[in-house]
Structure 1
Amino acid sequence: MSTPVTEGALKALFAAESSTPLRTRFEGSNIGTWIGFKHINYLIEEAVLAHLSQAGLSSRTLYGEYGLGVDLVDLDTRILHALYLDETVVARVVPTTPETGSLLTFTVSLNGERDGRTTKLAAGRVKVALRTDSSVEKAVEAPEGLARFATSRLGIPASGRELPAPPELSGVLPARNTELADGRGTTGPDPVLAVLTEGRNAFGWKWRIPYPYCHFTERLQMSGYLRQMEEVVDLFLADRGISVKTMLDERRWIPACPYSHIRILDEALMEEDLYTVLTVEDVFKDFTYTSRFDCYVVRDGRLVQTATGKVTHGYAKIENRRDWNLVTFDERVSKALKGEG
């Protein structure tokens, strides 16, 4: 029998703010000493996990004791200032969970020192589901106080924002081009990708979900989607003739990401083929561009959308090993982003 959750733990989870010092990671410093958007989002995820732990309800405890997997299902982040390698920030987590509803919600700010003052460097809004698990042993009843957050399947409804209906797949057979002998995926001719990108300023990538991107034994986790979002942008830029390395070599320009949002709509499972589509929706004054991020799997002959989101990018020119400045797109870059090249 599982141990009841105490009133003190629930009060800490729902009502108490928490602060945790976190350190940026070496892996996230791909260009110079600047930390990329993916790892900034990792810090926000880590802050929420620390908040749960401080309430005595760590992800390990929730899974091992109650069979509840902690799943971030919505992550909406604005990056206000650059973060750097080997920097300690203080993550402040504020619970915002409403009295009704099925998701735990939090706001998170990452704060650090800039010019001698404490400054908010990034801000995120996070939604968390507690996914029940019975894959190893019989499921246990969720404890009082957490039962309304327990779900047998991940997925967030549109919440007033209409999602486009997935394209019709009648008569379209998925290609067998993610076999191990063929590598991990394709961006080339593929009947399903053709359906998903037709008539749009879009780029598609089909990819086999590997176990390092999953958790709780079976499903793609939020950090896996963040990696997917980063990689599909990298592939898109290369496809348009302005790859990250090309722009670095020719101009010392790097992509800069001030905003990202990912929402999980359904579950994507280990070793399924994931179809990821990046659609450029807006190029703003040749200074930033915003893309839609959509992920699908094919089940029983139909498309199932598993995630959606947005990501905004600009370009920064590296001035030296410490400084960079945002730049305006020239004609070549602007046409490539708009699909006019």
Structure 2
Amino acid sequence: MTLATGTGLKALLETETTVHVRPRYEGSNINTWIGFKHVNYMVEEAVLEHFRSAGLPSRELFEELGLGLDLVDLDTRILHAFHQDDVARATVRPVTEGGDTLIGLAVTLFVERDGKEVKAVTSKVRVSLRIDSYLPAEGIPAELERFAVPRISDSAGRSEHDGREVSALPAAPLSDGRGTTGDDPVLELLTSGANAFGWKWRIPYPYCHFNERLQLSGYLRQVEEVVDLFLADRGISIKTLLDDRRWIPVVPHSRVRLLDEALMEEDLYTVFTVEEVFKDFTYTARTDFYVVRDGRLVQTATGRITHGYAVFENRRDWSLVSFDERVLNALGGTS
């Protein structure tokens, strides 16, 4: 197959596409509701189908041209919850401007409720084409040069810790399992003086793509994991509130933005910092990701999540609840 990169890029940047997608069964963790991670997976699938429809499928981009399709920024708002067996109509609208070096897409998911189609999710996505490091292509087509990069890198959005000299402990042993949240000089530096929780963890093969890079969906799994560990550390684990009150976590907004590359088998330092509690109904937290290279911190990604709780009234319906003193104290680090 020979890619028609000229006409393909024109379609990619100018033509809106529609595809129907379903949430995966794995994403239904409490009753039949689908978590934010798998909602983002539906957005990702709509983006991949947009590239296929334009004649630039991710497989051919890589195999023929040595270009890895990387979602590098994913900003998603959930307006209506998804359930098992829902079918979403996903529209993908190009929003790339003339001077952009990233491919911009606006994704909207619609779902049927009470006989009417409602807007369930809106998402802003940016995509980069990363030149393969193992078997680089001999030449990138001129049409795609603007979006092809030798390395994923974004100087904006980095914290004050990026580039700081550190003394890291040896790599996390495999016996650590889910990693460590205990005594660690890097974690202590990253969480000092903040309402934050830190976690050190070895990046495994299943979270990576294109041979070595932690992909954006891997970061989504990290966000889900660090929230779980943070809540347990503060004494309000997800199962504790589920058993005590039938409270379930809800995430109306999430964002992850790649700033650099994190590689397979590196130690990833994930820092979850509570920023603001809004009217006792939701809280926002920043999630920052680092690796240590040559004795210095390298921030590889950053993001934010908005988190709240709902109580389920039956196996189908739920309603948002306000935080009580116990939860507020835990979020504030005073419990």
- Per the normalisation by structure 2, the TM-score is 0.97
Deviations 1:171-211 (A, max 9, x none): x4212361123334101111100000000000000000001
Q: Is the 8 A contact 1:5 1:145 kept in 2?
A: no
User: 1:143 offset after TM fit, Å?
Assistant: 1.2
1:300 alignment counterpart:
294
CA separation of 1:6/1:216 partners in 2, compared to 1, >3 Å: closer, same or farther?
A: closer
Aligned to 1:154: 152
Unpaired runs of 5+ in structure 1? none
Query: How far has the Cα of 1:142 moved from its partner?
Result: 1.3
Task: Tell me how far apart the structure 2 counterparts of residues 329 and 7 of structure 1 sit (CA, whole Å).
Answer: 54
What is the match of residue 256 of structure 1? 250
How much does 1:101 deviate? 1.9
Deviations 1:59-100 (A, max 9, x none): 001000100000000000000000011111011000111111
Tell me which amino acid in the other structure corresponds to 1:179.
P
Question: CA–CA distance in 2 between the matches of 1:7 and 1:164?
Answer: 39
Matched, 1:332 2:332: no
CA distance in 2, matches of 1:121, 1:167: 36
Counterpart among 312, 315, 318 of residue 321 in structure 1: 315
Q: Are positions 1:33 and 2:32 aligned together?
A: yes
Instruction: Give the 3 Å change call, closer, same or farther, for CA 6–189 of structure 1 in structure 2.
Output: closer
For 2:121 and 2:94, locate their aligned partners in 1 and report how far apart those are by CA, in whole Å: 17
* 1:187 paired to 2:186: no
Q: What displacement does 1:16 show?
A: 0.5
Distance in 2 (alpha carbons) for counterparts of 1:175 and 1:169? 15
Q: Shift of residue 11 of structure 1?
A: 2.2
Q: Is the 8 A contact 2:3 2:60 kept in 1?
A: no
Residues 65-76 of structure 1 correspond to what in structure 2 (within 5 A)? 65-76=64-75
Say which SS state the counterpart of residue 134 (structure 1) adopts.
coil
Counterparts of 1:1-341 in structure 2, within 5 Å, are 3=2, 5-135=4-134, 137-158=135-156, 163-166=158-161, 170=165, 172-176=166-170, 178-341=172-335
State the distance in 2 between where 1:208 and 1:43 align.
27
Q: How many pairs were matched up? A: 335
Q: Contact 2:23–2:86 at 8 Å: present in 1 too?
A: yes
Question: Would the aligned equivalents of 1:185 and 1:207 in 2 still touch at CA under 8 Å?
Answer: yes
Matches of 2:122 and 2:310, distance apart in 1: 21
SS in 1 for 2:62: helix
Report if the CA contact (8 A) 2:181-2:199 is conserved: yes
Deviations 1:28-75 (A, max 9, x none): 000000000000000001100000001110000100010000000000
For residues 322 and 316 of structure 1, what CA distance do their matches in structure 2 show? 12
Structure 1 vs Structure 2 CA RMSD: 1.4
Residue 126 of structure 1 aligns to a residue in which SS? strand
Q: Which moves more between the two structures, 123-132 or 140-149?
A: 140-149
- 1:340 is displaced (CA, Å) by 1.2
Distance 2:13 2:196 in 1: 41
Unaligned runs of 5+ in 2: none
Q: 1:74 to 1:138 in 2, by over 3 A?
A: closer
The one-letter code matched in structure 1 to 2:246 is R
Query: 1:156 deviation in Å?
Result: 2.3
Task: Kindly state the Cα deviation for residue 169 of structure 1 after the two structures are TM-superposed.
Answer: 5.1
| SS state at 1:268 partner | coil
Please give the per-residue CA displacement for 1:144-177, whole angstroms capped at 9, x wherever unaligned: 211100000002231xxx543117854x421236
Q: Residues 4 and 144 of structure 1 are in contact (CA less than 8 Å); yes or no, is this contact kept in structure 2?
A: no
Indicate if the aligned counterparts of 2:5 and 2:56 stay in contact, CA closer than 8 A. no
Which whole-Å deviations, capped at 9, do the CAs of 1:283-319 have from their partners, x for residues lacking one? 1111100000100000000100000010000100011
Q: Runs of 4+ in structure 1 displaced over 2 angstroms?
A: 2-8, 137-140, 167-170, 181-184
CA contact (8 A) 2:162 2:299 kept: no
The letter of the residue matching 2:68 is G
**Shift of residue 134 of structure 1?**
3.5
TM-score by length of 1: 0.95
1:85 and 1:153 map into 2 onto residues whose CA distance is 38
